[in-house]
Structure 1
């Protein structure tokens, strides 16, 4: 019999094992080919304007996706080889050399890869259009997406999976050459690590793991309390070490020890649920600590990455409003002239006028933590001032007394990193003899555009005090020549024409004065965009980011969930003989399944729970750097992950049901 014929017969005999591996390969090819095809889709390139950031984002995501695929397929192949260990041992018993066995398995893998790549590309060709439509919808682009077959994507996918095939063959050869004949017949009973007897030392180590995770969580809440780059890097390294190391110790010792304590408290009076659920959990959770730690960390990373990207996407409108609080913003005489131009063009205008002054303030009076060692921390800086009646055009409910002031334009990022001291007193004119005001409130509401407040906060005082405050002079650290700001809104049908006039009249070109880092007064040119222009430009970048992040997150989720599912299938096959004994002594299928339900809740629930906690504290520590809303994006992404894990849990239970049904 030829070697190829032997390989083909072996594949037909092992079809019940191969379908898992084949599914893993098809899934990997489909993901990779779909994603690479998107990079060459004409509609996608047009929507993203083929920008450098888009190209770089797709390129980086492709490498990351290949890492996920490599990890997924290597692990699936490892589980597959473990399930075939007895067959490989029989080959050696009948006299076949390890080299010949490697050649047989290599031929099988080559055939599998060929079929999987062809099938995966066919599915990926169809799904790529679906993904392209999702991306275009996220970018709010009205375009007809056609099914596009890319030769470049075909060549790239074929090359990548050819390299992956070589790696898989090398992994298989390494397993076969390094494994003894006896161990091949015992492979299904081997965990990742030998399980020894439980002791109080293990309990202490498990407690250390819980303390390490808790410490990492606490440090994450203190990450931005001190704006120092060296401190920030050390904190990040410490958080990663504590959470990942603690996670391993929890899986390696804590869970297994708690299960053992519960079992010992029963003093030998074990129920069927204890036998089916707690005892396997106790040993397998401890023996498979490395893989469970890796799965948990990958789940946390993918969830945090997806959540942060969704926070950015969710906050696109808020970011655009911060840069342009109205449809169009103009300043000084340009604003008045532009309003006249719009009226002459027959466009109805709703304009709100804001008078602006600049006065000096000491940062020490405002902030709760010290800034970096800069002159701003020692002296006074200029800050823009608005009067209450102007602000009430947008927010009628706001009020302030003559001796009070409140802050606007203070973004969530600044308020988290450098919180202001509400209830403190500040002087709002040059020198110590200036007017003393109570800082009533700090609000994250956009009013002033970048040229007016230099991207920072602004103060609101009563109309009477606005008239009394002295303008800052050029002896201070900042100065601006802007005295009036116009917030202009027009009807939706007139917006395109108004935007064109905004650029034609060069009203968008705003010149203002500030001091540079050398302390010299310089003129700045700022190109003000309309609200829709700002939103559209942000949407392209953020929409592409959330799509790539969600795609990679889906790949991570499917990989980790599938690996857990594959492991449960392998465990179910190994425990089939135990179920046969339980059925023979009189236990019903439903009674055995109660223990299976508990076991699956632990096997999928504990990695998911710890992963959710990791991702929550990771997101909570720096979400404000990405947007203005936390709760909704966090709950939506976590809900999707919980649903996906629930699906894998249901699939595992279904497989256990079939095994238990076949046990008798």
Structure 2
């Protein structure tokens, strides 16, 4: 029999094993080619630009390459483990190691070339879908054609041919270094059995839980650390590295010691009366935990990091509308000094709107009396701030039920970012600085609503006061007045036309800061334009984060699935014995389902916990909404892992059914 005939026969015999490996290869090539080809798509070049966009996409492609290498090499390792007995038998019948290496190398070359061709074809088809998703995120209307890129093809082929060489070299080294006996017994060697837990292992298990808890605590203090006047970049870096070290180290200790320790306590509590389900779940997990701890830790940390980045990106996207509403509280805002009559242009085009005239005052105020007790005691907290003041009359259209007395005020625009820096509470006074001294005003309510353009408040707060009190502040020479006009469209179907008029006539104007020491450029503002600017600036980041995040989640979920398939094959002999003893498939599957619940559920639970605290530490810098984006991304994460868990349980059922 020639080598070529042996290769073809071997591939036919291993068809049931190849589909797993081929899936990993095709999936990796498809992802990589479809992402790389985005850099050369004419629709992206036209709508977004080809300067910084190409650079960002190229940098992201290196991150994707890391995911691909991690995924393919791990899949190859599992694949070779499943074929180790076959490789040992080749040597047992007299084939030299060099010939066995050539046999496996030829099989790999055939598989990889086929996977590259099919993966590039699928990537060519799916790349159009990804371009459409990206343009949808930034709300650009453009026709997207199927675009073939020779540069992307060459990069993909070169990357995967180099990776093929690494795989062949990895396989050759394994065949040459490993003994014949170890190759034959690879799939039947049991993991080290944990017979006894000593005091040191118990301490390490407890330390793992403490490390994670303390890491979580430090993450909640990051924002408070920003208020420290002695904070330096090195100090912040040390804090971040400490959190990462505690979290990663704690996670490993939990998988390596804590889990086995807890399960051993559960096992002892049964006093030897363990059911088949207990044996197939508790005992199996304990005996495999030493070899699985590092891989589970790696998957958990990488998944948590990916999920955290994905959540933060989605927070920015989800919050775009709210951020635009907070910054430009009317559909259009024009300033008195611009000399731009947008109203006249709207009248000329027949655009229906409602006009709101506002007087804004920049007033110096001492907010210390409003601070929470623990913040008021901090000497390093700056409490003399410039706040924006507006009269109740001018805001009546948005707060029709608001009634204020002469000495009362109502605060709006106190968002989550402001709350993290300075904690205010209502039913306390605020002190305005006037030309005659200070004047105290009682604050009845502090809310997050942003109802007034934040021209004078530096994204802090706006104080609504009674009309008579506003007139008193208006005539104070220390306070600067700015007149603005807000316009709200009566029919939102006229928005597109209104935007065209706005873009054709908008101007900018230099407006002095209240201090008079500097100026700022203020455009006649459009809420819709502001929202689209947010999407344009963040759209590519959101898309890349989502693409890489989902790719990583699918890769880690697949790796767990592949690992469970290998374990199922290794345990087939035990299932055969149980079936011969009279146990049914459903009785055996009861214990296996418990094991799958742990193998997928426990890393899932820890990953969700890690990502939650990571996101909670800095989400306010990315948007205004936390709960909804967090729940949506975590739901996607849970659904994906649940799919892999179900597939894994299905494979186990087939193994158990065929074990009799």
What is the TM-score normalised by the length of structure 1? 0.91
- 1:280 corresponds in structure 2 to 284
Superposed CA deviations along residues 101-152 of structure 1, whole A, max 9, x for unmatched, are: 3333222222111011011112222222232333333333333332222222
Whether 1:438 and 2:437 are equivalent positions in the alignment is: no
- 1:634 corresponds in structure 2 to 630
| Other structure's SS at 2:262 match | helix
Whether the aligned pair in 1 keeps the contact of 2:366 and 2:433 (CA below 8 Å) is no
Provide the C-alpha distance between the structure 2 equivalents of 1:303 and 1:229, rounded to a whole number of angstroms. 29
Give the drift of 1:659: 0.8
Whether the aligned pair in 2 keeps the contact of 1:194 and 1:287 (CA below 8 Å) is no
Whether the aligned pair in 2 keeps the contact of 1:188 and 1:574 (CA below 8 Å) is yes
Whether the aligned pair in 1 keeps the contact of 2:263 and 2:282 (CA below 8 Å) is yes
Whether the aligned pair in 2 keeps the contact of 1:191 and 1:288 (CA below 8 Å) is no
Give the drift of 1:505: 4.9
Give the drift of 1:37: 2.4
Give the drift of 1:39: 2.7
- 2:253 corresponds in structure 1 to 249
Provide the C-alpha distance between the structure 2 equivalents of 1:133 and 1:191, rounded to a whole number of angstroms. 50
Distance 1:221 1:400, change over 3 A: farther
Provide the C-alpha distance between the structure 1 equivalents of 2:531 and 2:365, rounded to a whole number of angstroms. 33
- 1:529 corresponds in structure 2 to 525
Superposed CA deviations along residues 429-460 of structure 1, whole A, max 9, x for unmatched, are: 24793111234333222234354434443222
| Other structure's SS at 2:21 match | helix
- 1:619 corresponds in structure 2 to 615
- 1:182 corresponds in structure 2 to 181
- 1:404 corresponds in structure 2 to 408
Whether the aligned pair in 1 keeps the contact of 2:194 and 2:286 (CA below 8 Å) is no
- Please list every run of 5 or more consecutive structure 1 residues that lacks an aligned counterpart in the other structure: none
Whether the aligned pair in 2 keeps the contact of 1:221 and 1:617 (CA below 8 Å) is yes
Whether the aligned pair in 2 keeps the contact of 1:86 and 1:184 (CA below 8 Å) is yes
Distance 1:336 1:184, change over 3 A: closer
Provide the C-alpha distance between the structure 2 equivalents of 1:145 and 1:503, rounded to a whole number of angstroms. 26
Provide the C-alpha distance between the structure 2 equivalents of 1:279 and 1:486, rounded to a whole number of angstroms. 72
Superposed CA deviations along residues 558-616 of structure 1, whole A, max 9, x for unmatched, are: 11111111111111111111111111111111111111111111111111111111111
Provide the C-alpha distance between the structure 2 equivalents of 1:407 and 1:30, rounded to a whole number of angstroms. 53
- 1:33 corresponds in structure 2 to 33
Distance 1:583 1:348, change over 3 A: closer
- 1:23 corresponds in structure 2 to 23
Q: Decide which moves more: 209-218 or 404-413.
A: 404-413
Q: Decide which moves more: 529-538 or 652-661.
A: 529-538
- 2:118 corresponds in structure 1 to 119
- 1:545 corresponds in structure 2 to 541
Whether 1:384 and 2:388 are equivalent positions in the alignment is: yes
Whether 1:203 and 2:202 are equivalent positions in the alignment is: yes
Distance 1:380 1:502, change over 3 A: same
Matches within 5 A, 1:279-428: 279-334=283-338, 337-344=341-348, 346-362=350-366, 364=368, 380-428=384-432
Whether the aligned pair in 2 keeps the contact of 1:428 and 1:469 (CA below 8 Å) is no
Provide the C-alpha distance between the structure 2 equivalents of 1:195 and 1:171, rounded to a whole number of angstroms. 31
- 1:104 corresponds in structure 2 to 103
Task: Name the Cα RMSD after superposition.
Answer: 2.8
- 2:75 corresponds in structure 1 to 76
Q: Decide which moves more: 32-41 or 395-404.
A: 395-404
Provide the C-alpha distance between the structure 1 equivalents of 2:508 and 2:191, rounded to a whole number of angstroms. 65
Whether 1:606 and 2:610 are equivalent positions in the alignment is: no
Provide the C-alpha distance between the structure 1 equivalents of 2:191 and 2:98, rounded to a whole number of angstroms. 26
Whether the aligned pair in 1 keeps the contact of 2:33 and 2:123 (CA below 8 Å) is yes
Give the drift of 1:19: 1.9
Q: Decide which moves more: 10-19 or 245-254.
A: 10-19
Q: Decide which moves more: 573-582 or 13-22.
A: 13-22
Superposed CA deviations along residues 232-268 of structure 1, whole A, max 9, x for unmatched, are: 3333222211111111111101111111222222222
Whether 1:67 and 2:66 are equivalent positions in the alignment is: yes
| Other structure's SS at 2:54 match | helix
| Other structure's SS at 2:146 match | coil
Provide the C-alpha distance between the structure 2 equivalents of 1:56 and 1:398, rounded to a whole number of angstroms. 52
Provide the C-alpha distance between the structure 2 equivalents of 1:635 and 1:654, rounded to a whole number of angstroms. 28
- 2:650 corresponds in structure 1 to 654
Give the drift of 1:384: 2.1
Whether the aligned pair in 1 keeps the contact of 2:60 and 2:544 (CA below 8 Å) is yes
Provide the C-alpha distance between the structure 1 equivalents of 2:93 and 2:500, rounded to a whole number of angstroms. 83
Matches within 5 A, 1:512-527: 512-514=511-513, 521-527=517-523
Provide the C-alpha distance between the structure 2 equivalents of 1:221 and 1:472, rounded to a whole number of angstroms. 43
Give the drift of 1:462: 1.7
Distance 1:451 1:190, change over 3 A: farther
Give the drift of 1:68: 0.5
Provide the C-alpha distance between the structure 1 equivalents of 2:577 and 2:502, rounded to a whole number of angstroms. 82
Provide the C-alpha distance between the structure 1 equivalents of 2:512 and 2:313, rounded to a whole number of angstroms. 35
Provide the C-alpha distance between the structure 2 equivalents of 1:450 and 1:340, rounded to a whole number of angstroms. 25
- 1:13 corresponds in structure 2 to 13
Provide the C-alpha distance between the structure 2 equivalents of 1:344 and 1:409, rounded to a whole number of angstroms. 34
Distance 1:193 1:298, change over 3 A: farther
| Other structure's SS at 1:419 match | coil
- 1:644 corresponds in structure 2 to 640
Distance 1:588 1:256, change over 3 A: same
Provide the C-alpha distance between the structure 2 equivalents of 1:339 and 1:500, rounded to a whole number of angstroms. 14
Whether the aligned pair in 1 keeps the contact of 2:362 and 2:387 (CA below 8 Å) is yes
